[in-house]
Structure 1
Amino acid sequence: MARRALILVESHPKGIGLLYVQAAQRLGLHPVILSADPTRYDYLAAESIEAIRVDTDNLDALICECSRLRANYDIAGITGDLDSVYATISKLCRYFDLPGPNPASIERCCDKFAQRQLLADTGVPIPAYRVAANATDVESSAAEIGLPVILKPVAGTGSRGVRLCRDFDELAEHTAYLLGGKHIHPPYVLGETYPRMLVEEFAQGPFYVAHTMGNEVIGIAAGDFGHLPHFVCRELIYPAPLTDDEHRRIADISLSCLLALGLGWGPTNIEFRWTKRGPVVIEVNPRLVGAPDPQLIQLACGVDLITEHIKLVIGDEQNLRRTHSHTAAARFLVPDRDGTLDWIAGNNRAAAVSGVTEVKMYVEPKTPIVRKGDFRDCIGHFIAASPSLAETEAILQRAVELISWSITPFSTEQEQSAAPYPSSD
């Protein structure tokens, strides 16, 4: 009998890809990674994982590779966790008659303008918005909405290219940056090369993320960001400290989003701001959120979203039953300057703090640090869990205080050649 395999198409190199591999193995599956550049995943060699180089932007190439793999394996399912390839994955699932999301729904959702239109048409509360293709469109849209505004590309994840523009000078500067295409990552990560932009009302208020599986809201997390004008997450708390009524309102709107966008198969994460008019939807992401959110959810309530997602993908019965009620939180390390990371110390001491479940650094000493104004600015994270929010926060703080590092600023010439983004401070 052929060995059952789970095909994983791309992933975040430092995200939850390894967790998917490990979960697949626990379920008795043989994971196979398809990637345009397998060298991006440093865990593949360490875990002796089968990886195949293929153009993951090319559906025909993926069909050909999966057809070849069927000669040796029983392909139980195909999945991944990147927006850019998720629609392609769903088409692969359709081609091979495997469980998967609706390709049209995923494609519409990954276009933030199309997503906004669908949500607005069904009465879901969202910020005022306009779509723009050039600097003139951006300026007139901002004038109509009223400054400050959020300016961002119509596609992408992790706050890449997202900025608060507080005046027309900042707006012009960021428009030029987006039109220059410097925020766009390689095609197998983003898949968007056109310069459409969204100009949006700045929705102010506490930040929340609703995590769903199918048509069930698993829970809601709270997040905190660093200094504006960028949006770099500094902390996540699960579950969010909400009243029953606040939780119900966010959960109800989340289900309305799924209905409006034709989602409801598999995992989704929905971002909110709680404004003066209540919860407003910032974005719907039609996939499982990246690390460390799945770990927080499992620590807090016992639901392993990665394993349950794989079960859905391979047609097995899910178990979304909560087994306990704790508070889990993650704190991110974000440098305050560009330069060369000379050293970083205290990891082991921080990991030894009672209640800390993970200390993970993303960079090594002597690494150039070039802040980009998005999730890539984070150089590490801590995760802690306990029976209460106050205790979990105290554990995280003790761990963070044990970490220290040194960054030597670039010389003027190095700074000019390395700078990926206009100065904003």
Structure 2
Amino acid sequence: MATRALILLEGASNMLRYVQAAKRRGLHPIALSADPSPYDYLAAEGMEAIRVDTDNLDPLISECSRLTETYDIAGITSALEDVYATVGKLCRYFDLPGPNPASIEQCCDKFTQRQLLAKAGVPIPAYRLATNESEVKSSAAEIGLPVILKPAVGIGSSGVRLCCNVDELAEHTTYLLGGKHIWRSSPRILVEEFEQGPQYNLEVMGDEVIGIAAADYGPPHFVCRGHIYPAPLTDGECKRITDVSLSCLRALGLDWGPTNIELRWTNRGPVVIEVNPRLAGSPVPDMVQLAYGVDLITEHIKLVIGDEWDLRKGHAQTAAARYLIADCDGTLDWIDGGSRAAAVPGIADVKMYVEPKTPIIRRDRIAHVIAAAPSRVRTEGILQRAVDLIDWSITQK
């Protein structure tokens, strides 16, 4: 009998977790990537990595067809939004379970996503599409400052900025259109109303909301500084947020697999900021498992290979993460205290992202710390004690 293989297109922050979860289910993980070199560290996990143009469907079909001569391909997936529509097309070609590629493509275009949500009556910020400086200025004038400028296609808050005045608007427009921002397609900028209020992130599988986190995104670039699961919400607030989120799925045709939804609670209730047709990046799946006892990655793999998933929550506790962020450009001289932080009772994980002597830029994540305990107060206390033990030095440029 041929070995059952799980094909993973490109990598993401969750790649190691997908590989380990696949192996636990008796699958042989194989990565297809335009550049497999970053996956060398996974060799110890027994992962095979193959170089192929992942922007082109035909070479991927050819490579997967070649692999079928040796393996029984049980499923194809990715944790990376950029290639998730391609995953859907491959799944359809090989008659495997997968996402609807058309739904993924229209969701990944934030302008199209906004149009579909607005048509369905989902509460969203006022928005305009701009392709040049003049259109950015006129759009901002129509909406009213402050506004958020963001690429119409992009992930990870790349190129996103809150502009509170005309100078900041001009500066960021120049950044986006002047050659500094890397565009994968023709430059298109969303100019959006700035919705003020606490932010909440939801993790959804199929049409079931698994968890709601309170998230701390610091302006002006909205880099995430922390999460806490579950969010401190009343039952009524949870229901309103859940109802709005499920209306997003219906409007966008996202009824299969993982979805990450970001919204803010404003003076008009929950307003949807963004819908991401994928699993949230690391360490969110770890936090969901700590808080609810649901392993999102394993359950996603079950869905991908056609097995029955189990989204029943195994327990309930509070999990919180703090992300340590560089506050200037320069070189990280040293970082210390990680082992002391990890030894604090209740700390689930401490991870350093940057090695000493590495160039970094302002807003880069240096490390994260995750704590879990039966109550929110206890979890936050544990987290703060651990974070206080970590220190670093940056030589500014």
Give yes or no for TM over 0.5: yes
Which residue in 2 is equivalent to 1:320? 311
Correspondence for 1:251 among 242, 252, 266: 242
Q: CA deviation at 1:47?
A: 2.6
Contact 2:245 2:261 survives alignment (8 Å): yes
Partner of 1:171: 169
Separation in 2, partners of 1:349, 1:276: 42
Measured in 2, the distance between the counterparts of 1:361 and 1:27 equals: 29
Tell me how far 1:41 sits from its aligned partner: 2.8
Aligned residue in 1 for 2:88: 90
Name the SS of the counterpart of 2:249 in structure 1: helix
Report the CA distance between 1:180 and its aligned residue. Answer: 2.8
1:6: Cα distance to partner?
0.2
Displacement of 1:184: 2.4
Q: Distance in 2 between matches of 1:272 and 1:43?
A: 36
Contact 1:133 1:196 in 2 (8 A): yes
Output the CA distance in 1 between the equivalents of 2:291 and 2:114. 32
The farther-off stretch of 303-312 and 176-185 is 176-185
SS in 1 for 2:172: helix
Q: Distance in 2 between matches of 1:408 and 1:212?
A: 41
For residue 341 of structure 1, the aligned residue among 304, 324, 332 is: 332
Q: CA deviation at 1:225?
A: 2.2
Aligned length, in residue pairs? 397
Question: CA separation in 2, counterparts of 1:207 and 1:16?
Answer: 23
Is the aligned partner of 1:364 residue 2:351?
no
* Equivalent of 2:214 in 222, 245, 268: 222
| 1:166-315 alignment runs, 5 A limit | 166-184=164-182, 192-226=184-218, 228-315=219-306
Amino acid at match of 2:186: Y
Change (3 A) 1:176 1:158: same
CA distances 1:201-226 after superposition (whole Å, capped 9, x unpaired)? 00010000111100111121110123
* Contact 1:181-1:195 at 8 Å conserved across structures: no
Contact 1:18/1:43 (8 A) holds in 2: no
Give the Cα–Cα distance (whole angstroms) in 2 for the partners of residues 263 and 299 of structure 1: 26
2:335 is aligned with 1:350: no
Give me the whole-angstrom Cα distance separating, in 1, the residues matched to 2:15 and 2:376.
28
Q: Which amino acid aligns with 1:230?
A: H
Deviation sequence 1:142-167 (CA, Å, 0-9, x none): 00000000000001111000000111
Match of residue 368 from structure 2: 381
Q: Residue 45 of structure 2 corresponds to which residue in structure 1?
A: 47
Partner residue in 1 for 2:2? 2
Give the fraction of aligned pairs with identical amino acids, expressed as a percent. Answer: 73
Partners of 1:86 and 1:170 lie apart in 2 by: 34
Q: Which of 34, 37, 47 is equivalent to 1:36? A: 34
Determine if contact 1:351/1:357 at 8 Å carries over to the other structure. Answer: yes
Does 2:160 align with 1:162?
Answer: yes
Counterparts of 2:361 and 2:107, CA distance in 1: 31
In the other structure, the counterpart of 2:123 is: 125
User: Deviations along 1:51-87, whole A, 9 cap, x unmatched?
Assistant: 0011111111111110111110000000001111000
Among candidates 33, 57, 60, match of residue 59 of structure 1:
57
Residue 406 of structure 1: which of 384, 393, 397 is its match? 393
CA-CA distance at 1:42 after TM superposition = 4.7
Structure 1: how far apart are the matches of 2:46 and 2:256?
31
Moved more, 358-367 or 331-340: 331-340
For 2:145, the equivalent position in structure 1 comes to 147
Question: In the aligned structure 1, how far is the partner of 2:85 from the partner of 2:138?
Answer: 33
Determine the C-alpha separation between the residues in 2 that align with 1:135 and 1:89: 35
1:386-409 CA-partner distances (Å, limit 9, x unpaired): 000111101110110111111111
Partner Cα distance (2:178, 2:45) in 1: 39
Q: For residue 382 of structure 1, what is the amino acid of its counterpart? A: V
Structure 2, unmatched stretches of 5+, are none
Quick check: 2:33–2:49 contact (8 Å CA) kept in 1? yes
Return the alpha-carbon distance in structure 1 between the equivalents of residues 139 and 395 of structure 2.
Answer: 41
Deviation at 1:309, TM superposition (A): 0.2
Residues 198 and 266 in structure 2, CA contact (< 8 A), matched pair in contact too: yes
Structure 1 residue 181 displacement after superposition: 4.2
Cα distance, 1:124 vs structure 2: 0.2
Q: Secondary structure at the match of 2:42?
A: helix
C-alpha displacement of 1:379? 1.2
> Do 1:342 and 1:407's aligned partners in 2 also have CA atoms closer than 8 Å?
yes
| Residue aligning to 1:395 | 382
What is the distance in 2 between the residues matched to 1:245 and 1:19?
34
Give the whole-Å Cα distance in 2 for the aligned partners of 1:305 and 1:235: 20
Per the normalisation by structure 1, the TM-score is 0.92
- Specify the SS of the correspondent of 2:192: strand
Contact kept? 2:39, 2:49, Cα under 8 Å: no
CA–CA distance in structure 1, aligned partners of residues 180 and 49 of structure 2: 29
Return the offset for 1:38: 1.0
